[in-house]
Amino acid sequence: MHEMSIVMSILDMAADRARAADARVINAIEIEVGGLAGVELEPLRFCFQVARRDIAPEAELIVHEIPGRGRCAGCGSEAAMDFAWAVCPDCGEVGLEVLQGRELRVRSLSVD
């Protein structure tokens, strides 16, 4: 499953950082997920509940959603984007340049 491999890499990254900080317990992992990153949040949370057992059983997953936003190459307008091939609301050009929304990264960890 796509989401499971994402969760595993998030947990690996968190475990590495926790080790580097001499932490014993990971309390929370904050991640940023862009609306255009192609990640479904419900399966992501579900996979996290399953996968954390071995690596970070105490960890809570905190998801910050980054809304998709793009700029039109034709008229320069900026608009919200729900999917990668959004249409410019001002001039109708297809395919906005993505300004934000492809994020998929660990923002911070809470450890003890």
Positions in the binding site for Zn ion (CB under 5 A): 72, 74-75, 77, 88, 90-91, 93
Q: Tokens representing 1?
A: 């499953």
User: Where does the chain have alpha helices with state H?
Assistant: 2-20, 41-55
> Quick one: 91 or 99, whose CB is closer to Zn ion?
91
Residue 110 DSSP symbol: E
> Quick one: 36 or 96, whose CB is closer to Zn ion?
96
Close Cβ partners of 50 (under 8 Å, ≥ 6 residues apart): 4
> Quick one: 43 or 74, whose CB is closer to Zn ion?
74
Taking the complex as a whole, the smallest distance from the CB of residue 62 to Zn ion amounts, in Å, to: 35
Gap between the Cα atoms of 30 and 52, Å rounded: 14
Taking the complex as a whole, the smallest distance from the CB of residue 79 to Zn ion amounts, in Å, to: 8
Taking the complex as a whole, the smallest distance from the CB of residue 66 to Zn ion amounts, in Å, to: 22
From 74, 65, 56, select the one nearest 111 (Cα to Cα).
Answer: 56
Residue 72 DSSP symbol: -
Taking the complex as a whole, the smallest distance from the CB of residue 89 to Zn ion amounts, in Å, to: 8
> Quick one: 62 or 91, whose CB is closer to Zn ion?
91
